[in-house]
Chains A and B, each alone.
Chain A
C-alpha cells in the first residue's frame, strides 16, 4: 500500500542554521510529491511540489526539496532557518487525486 513516512516527529534547530526534514514514500509509479506547512491556527499551505523533470524543486519561503528515486525520498531543505519557520511540516504523495500524508514533523526554532 502507498505510504509516506516522516521519521522525525520533532526537530529543533537554531535560527540561522540549515534544516533538512526527511520524507520517504512507498509508491509504485512516479509519484506526485508535496510538502505542506501548517502554522498554529492556520490551514495547510503548499510549500512546493514535484511532478517530473528537474529533481530539485524550489518552493516558497526559501524552501527546496530533492526527489531521489533510488532512495524513495523527498527531503525538504532550507539553508538558513528563520524563527517564523516554526510550524508543522507534512510530506504527502498523491494517489488518484487524494493526498496521503506523513505523520508530520514539528519544527522548533531556538534563538
Chain B
C-alpha cells in the first residue's frame, strides 16, 4: 500500500539555523500539506500546496517558512531561522484529486524537530 514518507525522523538544530524537512507524498496525489504538533498541543494546519503554489496558509506560516516541490516526488518544508518555539512534530500529508470535500489526507510518520 502506498504511503507518505518523511525524513529525517528526528532533527536537532541550534536556534537560528535553517532546517529542511523532506516528504515524499503518495505518487499520484496532487495536494500536499504540512501540519505540526507542539508537544501537548493540537495538530495544527500550516500550509497546503497544489500545482506548484501555496493554496492556503495559516497565520503560523510566516516568512520564515517556505515550501517547495523541487522535483516530481519530494515536497519540502524549510524553516529559515529556527526559534525555540519551532520545536514540534511536523507531519506531511497528501491527498488525491480534489484537495477538499472530504477527500482523505494520508499522513507521514512525522519529523520531530528540536531547536536548542
A residues near B, CB below 8 A?
32, 34, 36, 41-46, 49, 51, 90, 92, 94, 96-104
Contacts and interface: CB of A to CB of B under 8 A. Distances in A.
Interface of B: 3-4, 6, 31, 33, 35, 41-45, 48, 55-56, 58, 91, 93, 99-110
Contacts, number: 55
A103 B40 CA distance: 8
A14 B16 CA distance: 47
Contacts of B3: 43
Contact of B102 (A90, A94, A101): A94
A44 B91 contact: yes
A45 B102 contact: no
Contacts of A42: 109
B89 to A, nearest CB: 10
A43 B42 contact: no
Nearest to A100: B45
A99 B48 CA distance: 11
